Structures are given as structure tokens and as C-alpha cells.
Structure 1
Amino acid sequence: MELFLVALAMTVLYRIARALFRLAAGRRERESREKLLKDAETGRPGTAEPARWFGSMETPAVNGYSVPGGLVYVGEKLLDYSGFNDPCLLNPSLRAVSGFSPSVPLPEQRLHYGKMTPEQRGAYLSWLAGGRNDPDAALPYVFLFFYGLERRLMVDAQRGAVSPEERADIVLEILRLLQIYGEHRAFRGHAANLLAMEWVLWGIPDDRPGYIDFTDRYCAEPFAAVLARYASLDRPIPAETALQWLILHPEQGLKTPARRCPDLFRKLFSLRYAEKYGEGMVIHPNRTPLTLTYRAATPSLGDRLRIRIPGLPNPFILTAPVKKLAALAAGCADDLDGYSRFLARGGSPESPEAAALLPAELLTGAPAGEAVRERLFRLCGGNPSMTDTGKILAVLGQTPPPKMNRKRAATLADTLGSFNFGMAPDPPIHGFPPSHDGRIALFSPRAVPSGREEFDALTALIRLGSLVAQASGEASEGERRVVEEMISSSDALSPEEKRSLFALALWAFSVPQGAAGLRGILEPLPEETKRSLGRILGTIAAADGRVDPGEVRAVGKLYGYLGLDGGQAARDIHAAVSGTASSARSEEKEGFSLDMDLIRLRQEETRHVNGVLREIFSSAEENALPAQEAPERDDILAGLDDPHRKLLSDLLKRETWRREEYESLCATLSLPPDGALEILNEWAFSSAGAPLAEDGDPVFIDLSLAEEVLSHGQQKDENPAP
């Protein structure tokens, strides 16, 4: 029984082994048949004829089709990285059927010449034979041809098998294809990447062709070589290149305003980049060598083809420079956010509202800026003309403030300057703001003085002269012309600087001027300087050829500030009149005339005392002094007694006071209204170089100036020395 069971088991095992053997043999046979079929289809090694590249001057023939312009591989064997035939290979041994249009869609999974149907091969060959210019051709056919160009440059050229002339032919062919099929995003990106890589590998570094487009994200890798060259040579990186570094960086991105308003964002970034880095940021080379990863369109090169660039560092591993650029770009985008949202809501880019939302740097050249510039020109025609700031702010799409203080005036002046318009007075240029009623002189172009000495002296003289001229109730044309002649005869000023001063003279002689703060400045002056100032003021007062009692009193008051004899004021004015009276009478019918010798004399005296004049009317900002230790709060108020301190405290509660309210405050403190305001203005001038209050009805209080003055003492208290 046992022997029987053993024999049965052996028989079963034998039959199982034989079945397994037959199964394995059948599998090997099937695999062999499939392999033979694949080899026949794709031209895997064996006795197949090696492929040949045909240049642009050759016309190969494939299955009865002629391919003009070449630039294709033809043959039976062209291996890719996996050991199979390259998809781009035109294999004449594979059947192609004619009569099918290349515009018939082709599934992307069939994007391999050896795997196409005979009908699809015929359609592809007909596209090649037609010059590769059918705009209706299916995009996969274009890519299949592009695969061959890609292999030729990235494989054969790397081995030195491609001449510069042939590379140039391939570049021209890619550019031609882009003109026909460039609307397709994927093809445009891969073509741009191949063109950029070809230039990086073989082009002249300092001669970038115009067709290279590093704004395309497909070109991030070749762009790294451009950036690396700046680093290796310690060259400043231009703003455009720095921004592109940020855009193409894999860990960075741009905010919505930058994408919605790309042109304005690029301009703003370039301006602020230049302001911060001058010619450009400099990054120093690191020790990591640059290896570019070429992401090919053709599957024959694999997912990534790595190309090492000798002698160049890898800048994309640096984090600190990118963070700085990202912060700068974020700030630009944030400043464009309001404008961007305005456009998103359907607002017009040419409206004043749009201009009001733009950063000042962008007003020039933007549609909104051009519209505003045209409206501003209609207000003044380019020549100095008096206007209200309310009208200007309306043109800019801004709401007029309750009053025009120093900070608001400086902001307005800078905004007008961005349109190449100027205003007088201009706080950054003339050193003081306009009066609280907001009237200014508008003109074009704005001019920043190249030399301050003569300009500042004449600026202060204009204010002193207008102060004297208005003492009679209304300034005369002759008195204004004295000042204008001094401006015109200056050889040290440019025409633009003179226009700025003419505008200031127009404003100063049109708007009532005040003398607040003069006493404390004029009293300490040297005697010779005081006498020169007195003669200048006398000349202006006498400019109309007559002596007005009001002008004599005004000059006498200024003489008192100068510590001069008040009676001398009348004598100086009469002396000046005697020098102009004959000329005035002789030209009475033809208009007012001036004694130019007298003008030149007074101009020399003006130059002599220009430092004093500059000090009288220039602002603290324009004459920045070295930082000094902040005074104590009590020291700041030391010039005020208790009633005036209480008045100051009450006035700082709001910006405007009706005249009767102000007088009521003074009455409760037993203070004379006019004298109290003059004392407060003298106090403000001694601390900040500007008046605290503007007399009238209503009375305006400069709260920002008071905050600035009082904050000095607070800073000292809050930050005691260790």
C-alpha cells in the first residue's frame, strides 16, 4: 500500500512539472513574438539601418514624401535613453497612408512616429512635405517635429557634432514655428526654454538676442545661468533681472496687484529698486557649482537632463537676497492695492480717482497721470498763475483738507512735481508752506535749485519785500518789479529757477504776509548786516516813487526788530525815492521804470546778507542741523508764562477757532488777543521756525507743528539717559 502511494505521488509531481514547463515555454514564445513585433515597429537594435540627420539645405524622401528644409532624423535606428527608438525618428520601413489631413486631432499618447497608425504617419509626412506651415495642423505633429530639434541641440550638439551654422538654422526654424504656433502655451514655453538654453550654452553672454524671453516660467533654468554670471563677475544686478529672479524663484510669487497691473508694478519696482540699490544689488559667488536641469518636451531625453556649467555658482540657493527682493516687491504691490481694486470694480484708469490711488512715482506716464497733467496745464498754461489748492486737489481726485499745513503742502508739492508742475510756495524748495487759505501760484516745470545760496537769499527777500509793500494796504506793481528785476538780473540762476521765484513773488505780493517770528531773528544780527537789510527794505518801499505812511511804519517796525533808529527808516526810504523819482516821472506815461544801478547795488547787498535772509524764512527741514539733545518739556514752554501756556493748551484742542471764540478764551485769561497770538507765534518760531497760528476769522492752529515741538520734550522724558 505504501509503495502504491509513493508511485502515485511521483506520477502527480511529474505531470505538474511537465505542465509548468509547457507554460513557461509558451510564455517565452509569446514574449519573443511581441518583442519581434515591437522591434519591427520601433526599430530596436538589430540589423536596422542607423538614422541620419538631414540639415536645412537637404530634402530627404520618406515613403514617397519629400521633406523640404530637412531638420529631421531619417532611418531605422535612433535610440533614446531607454534603448528604444526616438519618437521623432522617421522610419521609412513603417507604412504610411496618404490622403489624410494633418488637422485631424492626434491623441498625445500616440505621440511617437513608430506607434502612429499608417494614416497618422501619412498626415504627419504631408505636414512636413508642405513646409511645416499649416496653421490648422494638430499641435502633436508640431511637437513631434520639435522633438527632433530638441534632440539635435541637447544631445548631438553637446557631443560637438553640430556646427554653429546648423545651430543658427535650428534657432531660425524654432522662431518661424513660434510665429505660426506660438499661441499654444505649452509649445511657446518649451520653444522659449530651448532657445534660452541654446544661448546660455553657446551664445555670447553680453549679447542677449531679442528673442530670449526670461519672463516665461519655462525659462527658469537657463535664467539661473544669467544670474550666475552677474554673481561670478560681482556685477550689479539690473532691476529687470532682479525682478525676474523673484518671479522665477520656486518659493516666491507676486501679489494680485502686481499681476493685475504688471506694467505699473514693474515700473514702481524698478524705481524703488534703483533708489535702494543704485545701479543694482551685488551678490557674491558661492561655492556650489551651477547645474542646469533641462526639462525637455521629448520623452526621449527623460524627465530631466542635467547640464553642468563650469565656472559658475548657483545663485538660486541664496535666500537673503531673495527675501530682500520679496519685501521690496510686496511693498510695491501693497501701494498698488487701492488702484488695483479700483480697476477691478470697473473704475477708469484715466479718472482723477485713479490718479489719487497711484503712488506718486507712477503718475508720470500712466493714463491717469496724462489726464491730470492736461487738466493742470489748463489751470495755468505753464506760466505762474494764482489758483486755489482746492481746484488742484479736485484735479488730483483728492478731498481738500480743512487747512493747508506744512506737511500737506509738502505732499502736494511732491505730487505736482511728479507731473512736472511746481507750486509756490513749495515747502521743500522755498522753505515754508502757503497760507491757510490754500491759495498758491501754479507753474511748470518744477525746479529744484542746483545752488542754494542765491536762490535762498532771493526767496527771503521776496517775503520781506512783500511784507513792506503790503503795509500801504496793497502792493504796487513797481514794488513787485523791484524784486522781479533782482531775480531777472541774477546770473547764478537757471531759467527754471527764476520761474520758480517769479511764481513765489506772484504769490507773496498777492497773499497777505505776516511778520511773526522776525524779532527774535533780527535782533542779534551784526550792525553792518542790519544796515544792509534796512537799505534793501527802503529800496522796495520806495519802488513806486512815493512814500506811503503805512510802508514807513512797516519798515520802521522792522527797523525796530533790527535795533535801528526808527527815524532812519523814513530817511532811507526818502533817499531811495530820490534815486528813482526822476526815472519814474520821466517814464510816467510809458510805465514804471527802475534805476538799474540801484537794483544792482541792492542785489549786491542782498548777496551780502543772504545767510541772514535764509535764516529768517527758511524752514527747519531745509536747514537741517546736527542732532542735538532734546530739551526738557519745561524748557520748551519756558518762553511762555502760565496764562499763555493755558491758552496754548486750549487752542491745541482743535484746528480752527471762530474769532469770537478765540477772543473769549483770551478774555478769560486776561490776555490781549493780538498780543497773545504774536507771543505764541514767536514761541513757535523759536522752537520750529514756523508760526503756530494764522490770524483771521477763523483762527487756524497748526496742530502738527505743535505736536512736533512738544514731542521733543516728551522723547527726552520717556527715554532717559542711562
Structure 2
Amino acid sequence: MRWLPANTSIDLHSHTLPSGLIYVQGGACDIFEPSAINVDLEVSSPKSALGLELPYWPAYAFITPAQRGAYLEWLANGRRDANPATRNFGYLFLFFYGLERRVLIEKDYAPEIGHEIANLVTLYAPHGRSKSLPSYFCQLLHFWAHRQGESRYAELWPWILGLEQGVVDEDELHLILGNLATRGERAPAEVAREIAYHDPDAVRSNVTTRSPEDFRRMFGERFAAEFPHGLALQPGSRPVRIRYRPASSALRDPADSGELDAITQFAEIPAAERTRLVALWNECCRSLLGYMRAKARAVGKSVDLATLAALPSELRRSEAAGPAAQLAEFLTTAAKDGDFHFSTAAPLFAFFGEAARDTYTLTQSRNLAAALDTLGWQIEPDPRHHSASLAAEQEIVLFRGADASLSPDFLGHCGAVQLAVFIAGADGSFDLRENEVISLLVDHSSVSVHERGRLRAWTALLNRNQDSAPASVTKIAKAVPAEKAQAVAQMLCRIASADGIVTKTEDRALQRIFKALGLSAALQDEFERYLAGFGEAQVTTAEPEEPGEPIPGATPATSTFTIDRERLRQLTAETREVIHILSVAMAEAEPTATAEPSNPPTGVAPDYPSRVPPAALVAAAIPAWCATLPPMYAPLLVRLVAQSDPWPRAEFDAAARAANVMPDAAYSAINEWADDTLGDFLLVGEDPVELQRELLSHDARTQNQTA
């Protein structure tokens, strides 16, 4: 038996094998090597081998002549197929057995061997039904690299780890960690990801395989933020022996089992580091799972509200570019004032494919804000912070920026600005000096830069239309506790008098708020006396005017007039306390969220055709295999499994309504349960809807035969 090195050509049975890396023998041999090509054995046309499966442990000597012909033809074609999916993996393993012997027993570490293994994994692994091929092939790659020494292995394992279809089992992970520990290095993101994957406390989610590139990108960015210097490793005091698991039956009981061992430095991750790492992994899985579920429900939509709302920040650059450009074009028709764009809510919801309605749900409203955030825009009022749903005709303001956490008093700042705008705009317009008072509230020392931008947008919106606020000033005032009302009233008086004049319309606005605050008569009189010092000249309008000289009005302000700085100082001192009071009041004053659309009343016959009798759905017993599904959706799923699919979308919707559940909610709930319980979505497609029955247990699959 002889070995043909890489690129060594040989002619066998009318085939020219140009690439080498094979064993060839003639006649009997003392060593049984399954991959060895015995030139004396019969070979026939490979066409008759079509459809013939190779044995689990194939050997060239024991396969049929036609299968030998198919194997030699594959070798003659450079071990490549135009359509890799057509290749029976038994032929790849037959070739691979020879590489195992060459590396492990004969200690040949030629670079061509490693590169050929990697090429075969990349080309063929995507077409396999199991992980056997990438698992065995990558295991040999690691041993091939590790046996060349720690320095050489340090150069090669990142390349192996980066293979598109690569697989890292726990043994190979020990080799990598040992190499890092020996060199005194920390684990980078790609190694930390494998550590987390193998940790028993890490969640198991198919998002890591369904969308591997997205998961790698997300994990990498979050890992860099959490572990900027890499993951710490703690070298052990003893070496660890790693046993190779051969694919070849000829190496499963070698004369010297030590031939298959690898020795490396033991390394472990400190407990605290491991806990943080697993938490990071779990959070990445949850984030990507929510996005993928939303994406699955949005089949056929070019722009979808829920999908963009669930898009993790790490994926925005690649996924949001198209919708962002579309939104920028859309906003060219919106009203604009400086950096602020204004639009009613309905056109924005329509842009994201949402059906028109008078008032949107809180979930829809929050999704709108989140989707716009994904595209680089913020809105006020933001339902994520104000906890109030949006009405179709409600005007909102859009401005560039990224969302950030807000202080607990942010709503209080909004309330203070809203009350100030109400007072300052009572006479129909803002005075420059009144704007300075509002700017004092916006630029208060307790306001962060991010909140300042939001408050400026909020002020611009209220300046256009005070009805755009989720709660009226009267509601806000009524929500202020009685014992805190005086402080709020006092601040409003300071605002009204900051320019030295309190107009009649401003006075009436104040009286309206005083009434809503529930001030006592004594306090109202006290504030009236305070405001009287800033009033306009009094005129009587109840009786007809007598002829004579006109009563002089208020003395006009000169060009050198400035705001009373003492009142501003007092206002600044009072603002922090009042803002805290208003934060609580705003939370109570803003309207509760619009309820999600309710189900049709029980007992009302649906006006649509259906294969599913409503009574049968209600009465259907819930079997054990779907006992963990939310009970309201179980009867529908039981009936779907009992019926033959696919289901036209109209019939699926009819079945859902007959079960008194919303179709989209049922589709989503069943798939979320299936993803967590069965490992994948059970319902696929929008129209028709199909069941992935292979995910179900035998009891569930046979239900349609007994139902």
C-alpha cells in the first residue's frame, strides 16, 4: 500500500486521478485501510450506482463495482461536484478515512491535507442532514494543526474556527483554550461564543443556526462592549488529554491508542466571567429571536413596523438602509421647521404597512417609535416614554437622533414645558421673553443633552398645536396632589410674570389651572394679589363706553426691556421640586393605552366559510403534546393538525376566528411555542399556511388518522 502525495497523478480503470492524497494498493495487504484503492478489483460504469446507498462504514474493497466507478469518477473530477447536494456523503468519508490514517498514524502534516479538508467542509457540509461531516472533518483539522506545535496551532486555529461551515466540539475547544492559556492570552469573541454555546446554563435557540451571520455580528459587538480586553482564562495545574474520535473503523481499535491522543494545558473560565458570558449569550438569543419571529410574520412586506421595531441595533446598518432612504423621501412632503418634521400619525403608520384606524394600540404606537428609532429618527410624544397610544389625526414631531435612557423626571419636564407653553401662548403667540422662560425650563441643569433635544422638539410641537399632547393641562393639574398644588401654582405665576406683564388671557389661563389644581379660595386670592401687580390697565367691558378720552393701556416695553432676573432666579430654584411633582402627575394624567382589538363576541356566528365547526373547536380535548401551549390557542392547533394541509389563508383565518382567537395572534403564539418547545416554527407560509409535521411527536402526527 502506497501513499500518493498531493497533486500526484495516476491512471486507474480509464480514469485519470490528478490530485493525489489517496492510498493505492495491489492485491492483498497486511494493513486494512478502508480508503485504499485496490487496483485489482473490478470497476464498472458509475451510472448503475445511482440510488445505491453506501454502507455506514464504507470500504473500497466491499462496495459494488459500480460504486467504485462512481468513487473514481469523483476523484477524477478533483473531488468536486457541480451540484454538491447530489453527492452521497459516504464517498467523502471513504476519502477522509485515508486522511485520518495519514495524519494520525503516519504523522504527515502537509498543508495540502488541511486545505483539502477545509475545502470539502465548505463545499459539502451545507448539504448534509446532520453534523457528522463537519464534526469529524473539523476535528481532524484541529489535530492536524495542533500536532504541528503550539506556535503553529496558534496561527491555524483562528482560520479553522472561521470556516463557514466549521464545527467546534468540546474537545477541540479544550485545545484552543489550552493554547491561549499556554501563551497567556485572553479568549477573543469567536472563542467566547463557543464557550457559551457549550455551557449548560446557556439557552438553546435555533437562531444561532438559522441566522448564524447575524448572531455572530451581534454577539461580537456586544462581547466587545462587555469584555473589551477579551475573556479571562485561568490556567490549571495539570495537563488535559484529548482523545481523537476516529470516523474510520480501522482506527477505532488501534494497536497503540496513544497515537490518537493530544495533550494540552488545562484552562477554565472564572465563575464570575462565565456568568457574565452566559448572560450575554442568552440576551443575544432573545434579541435575535424576537427579530426573526417578527420577520417571519412579515413575509411579503417591503417595510414592516414590528420587524423594524425588533431589529437589534447591531444589524441596523445592513438591514435598515433601504427603509431609511424610503422614509427620508417620505418626509420631504411633511411640514418642516428647522430640524423638526411634523406629521399626523396615520401616514406614518401607513408607510409601515399598518391598516388605518382611528386610534392605534399602545403596542402599535410603541412599535412605530421603535421602528423610527431603528431608522435614525425620534418622535414626541414618544409612546415608549409617555405610555399613551397615538390617534390617527394626532400630530407628532420627528427629529434626527438615537434613543437613550431618560431620567425619572423627564415627564415632569414635559409637563412643566406644556404648562409654560399654555400660559405663554394664551394670548395667541409667544413673546421673545416668554420663549426665554421656556428655554430656562428646557435648559435646566437637571436636563441631560438627550432630554434637551426631546424637550426642544416637544416645545416646537406644542407651539404648533397644544392638542398634540397626550394629556391636557387640566388633566395634568388635576393629577397634582393637593398638598403639592401650591408649589405648581407658584411656579406658573413666576412664568406668567417673568416678562413684567400678565395679560388678561394669561390670567384667565392661570385661573383655569388654579381651578383644576383645587386651590383653596384663600390661596387663589393670594395669587391674584401677586398677579395684580403685573396686570394690564383695567377696563370695564360690561357697560357701553362713554364718550371721552381713551383710558391709557399698559406702558409699552422699551427696546432695552429685560426679564426680571430675580424672578428667573426664583423660578430656577422652584423648578426642580415642581418637575418632580409633575413627573408623578403626568404619569397619572396621560390616558391609558388603547386596548388591543378584541375577539368577536362568543356565540356570534362568523360570516365566512370554514371547514372547522366552532363547537368542535371549543370542545376539542387538549392532548399532552401541546399542553404547554397557551390554552386559548390549543383547540385551534389540535384541529389544524387533525386536518390535511396546506390551508388557504382565508380558511386559516376562519378557523382562528371560529376558535375565538385573532388569526395573526394565533399564528404568532403557535410559532413562538413551537420554536421554544420543538426547536423551529410549526406554521410556515402566509398563503397557504402549512404545518411542519416532522417537528411533532408520533402521537401528534397520527392524530389526523384518529380525529
For Structure 1 versus Structure 2, the TM-score category normalised by the shorter chain is 0.5 to 0.7
Decide whether aligned partners of structure 1 residues 369 and 117 sit closer, same or farther in structure 2, where only a CA change above 3 A counts: closer
1:190 to partner: Cα distance? 3.7
Residue from 550, 557, 567 that aligns with 2:532: 567
1-side partners of 2:263 and 2:77: how far apart?
39
Aligned to 1:378: 330
RMSD over aligned CA atoms reads 6.4
Give the Cα–Cα distance (whole angstroms) in 2 for the partners of residues 250 and 77 of structure 1. 51
- Aligned letter for 2:586? A
Q: Secondary structure at the match of 1:617?
A: helix
Within 5 Å, give how 1:215-614 maps onto structure 2. Answer: 219=169, 221-226=171-176, 244-245=194-195, 254=204, 290-302=240-252, 307-313=261-267, 335=290, 339=294, 342=297, 347-348=299-300, 350=302, 352=304, 354-355=306-307, 358=310, 364=316, 371=323, 374=326, 378=330, 380=334, 383-389=339-345, 397=354, 416-426=372-382, 439=394, 441-446=396-401, 462-472=417-427, 474-476=428-430, 482=436, 499-509=453-463, 510-511=465-466, 514=473, 516=477, 517=480, 537-539=496-498, 548-552=503-507, 554=509, 565-570=530-535, 578-579=556-557, 582=559, 598=562, 609-610=571-572, 612-614=574-576
> Residues 674-716 of structure 1: CA distance to partner in whole angstroms, max 9, x if unpaired?
xxxxxxxxxxxxxx3437557xxxxx68999xxxxxxxxxxxx
Conserved 8 A contact 1:246-1:326 = yes
- What's the offset of the Cα at 1:505? 1.2
2: distance between equivalents of 1:692 and 1:456? 11
In the alignment, is the contact (CA less than 8 A) between 1:518 and 1:616 conserved in 2?
A: no
**Partner residue, 2:137:** 191
Deviations 1:183-223 (A, max 9, x none): 65265554344334434555216961167448655745424
1:85 shift after superposition: 2.3
Cα shift readout 1:256-307 (whole Å, capped 9, x = no counterpart): 6776666777777778889998988768677886444433332222189753
Distance in 2 (CA, whole Å) between partners of 1:384 and 1:99 is 78
Moved more, 238-247 or 509-518: 238-247
**1-structure distance, mates of 2:594, 2:45:** 84
Paired residue for 2:94?
144
State the distance in 2 between where 1:323 and 1:495 align.
34
Describe the SS at the equivalent of 1:169: helix
Query: 1:55–1:71: 8 Å Cα contact kept in structure 2?
Result: yes
Counterpart in the other structure of 1:87? 34
Question: Which structure has the greater CA radius of gyration?
Answer: 1
* Matches of 1:222 and 1:355, distance apart in 2: 37
Alpha-carbon deviations, 1:466-520, whole Å to 9, x = none?
Answer: 1222322x33475776578879999999997765333111222220562724996
SS of residue matched to 1:690: helix
**Given that residues 423 and 443 in structure 1 are in contact (C-alpha distance below 8 angstroms), is that contact kept between their aligned partners in structure 2?**
yes
CA 492–323 in structure 1, closer or farther in 2 if over 3 Å, else same: closer
The separation in 2 between residues aligned to 1:173 and 1:325, in whole angstroms, is: 36
Alignment of 1:54-93 (within 5 A): 54-56=4-6, 58-59=8-9, 68-74=18-24, 84-90=31-37
| Aligned-partner Cα distance in 1 for 2:450–2:248 | 63
The worse-fitting range, judged by mean Cα deviation, of 551-560 and 609-618 is 551-560
Alpha carbons of 1:176 and 1:537: their partners in 2 closer, same or farther (altered >3 Å)?
same
CA contact (8 A) 1:195 1:212 kept: no
In structure 2, C-alpha distance between the alignment counterparts of 1:270 and 1:339, rounded to whole Å: 23
Distance (whole Å) between structure 2 residues aligned to residue 575 and residue 233 of structure 1 = 88
Q: State the AA in 2 paired with 1:420.
A: G
Deviations 1:659-683 (A, max 9, x none): xxxxxxxxxxxxxxxxxxxxxxxxx
Asked if 1:690 is matched to 2:637, the reply is no
Contact 2:417 2:459 in 1 (8 A): yes
Structure 2 residue aligned with 1:673: none
Identity of aligned residues (%): 20
Question: Which whole-Å CA distance do the structure 1 matches of 2:237 and 2:28 have between them?
Answer: 39
Distance in 1 (CA, whole Å) between partners of 2:594 and 2:11 is: 89
The corresponding residue for 2:113 is: 170
Does the 8 Å contact 2:114/2:141 carry over to 1?
A: yes
Cα pair 1:65 1:125 within 8 Å, conserved: yes
Distance in structure 2 (CA, Å) of the matches to 1:244 and 1:142: 26
SS in 1 for 2:400: coil
The normalised TM-score by structure 2 is 0.55
TM-score (norm 1): 0.54
Q: Is the 8 A contact 1:289 1:314 kept in 2?
A: no
2:619 equivalent in structure 1? none
Instruction: Report the secondary structure of 1:570's partner residue.
Output: coil
Q: Within the alignment, does 1:615 sit opposite 2:565 as a pair?
A: no
- Decide whether the 8 Å contact of 1:353 with 1:398 is kept in 2: no
Amino acid of the structure 2 residue aligned with 1:155:
I
Which residue identity does 1:514 align to in structure 2?
V
- Structure 1, unpaired ranges of 5+: 1-50, 583-594, 622-687, 695-699, 705-722
**What CA deviation, in whole Å up to 9, does each residue of 1:160-201 have, x standing for no partner?**
x54xxx2x2212233444566556526555434433443455
1:331/1:569 CA distance change after superposition, 3 Å: same
Query: CA deviation digits over 1:27-69, x for unaligned, max 9?
Result: xxxxxxxxxxxxxxxxxxxxxxxx4544336556779987544
Aligned residue for 2:534, secondary structure, equals: helix
Secondary structure in structure 1 of the residue aligned to 2:456: helix
Q: Give the equivalent residue in structure 2 for 1:42.
A: none
Deviation (angstroms), 1:152: 1.9
The 1:548–1:507 alpha-carbon spacing in structure 2 relative to 1, beyond 3 Å, is same
Instruction: Name the SS of the counterpart of 1:86 in structure 2.
Output: coil
What is the identity, as a one-letter code, of the residue corresponding to 2:59? Answer: H
Amino acid at match of 2:104: M
- The one-letter amino acid paired with 1:505 is T
C-alpha separation in 1, matches of 2:165 and 2:69: 38
Gaps of 5+ in 2: 515-522, 538-551, 596-707
- Work out the CA distance in 1 between the residues paired with 2:568 and 2:127: 72
CA distance in 2, matches of 1:615, 1:434: 28
* Secondary structure of 1:191's aligned partner: helix
Given candidates 144, 158, 178, the residue that maps to 1:208 is 158
**Structure 2 CA distance for aligned equivalents of residues 70 and 211 of structure 1:** 26
CA distance in 1, matches of 2:181, 2:44: 57
Q: 1:356 to 1:310 in 2, by over 3 A?
A: closer
Q: Distance in 2 between matches of 1:693 and 1:210?
A: 60
CA distance in 2 between counterparts of 1:410 and 1:66 reads: 66
Code of the aligned partner of 1:501: L
SS of structure 2 residue aligned to 1:84: coil
Q: Which moved more, 1:209-218 or 1:481-490?
A: 481-490
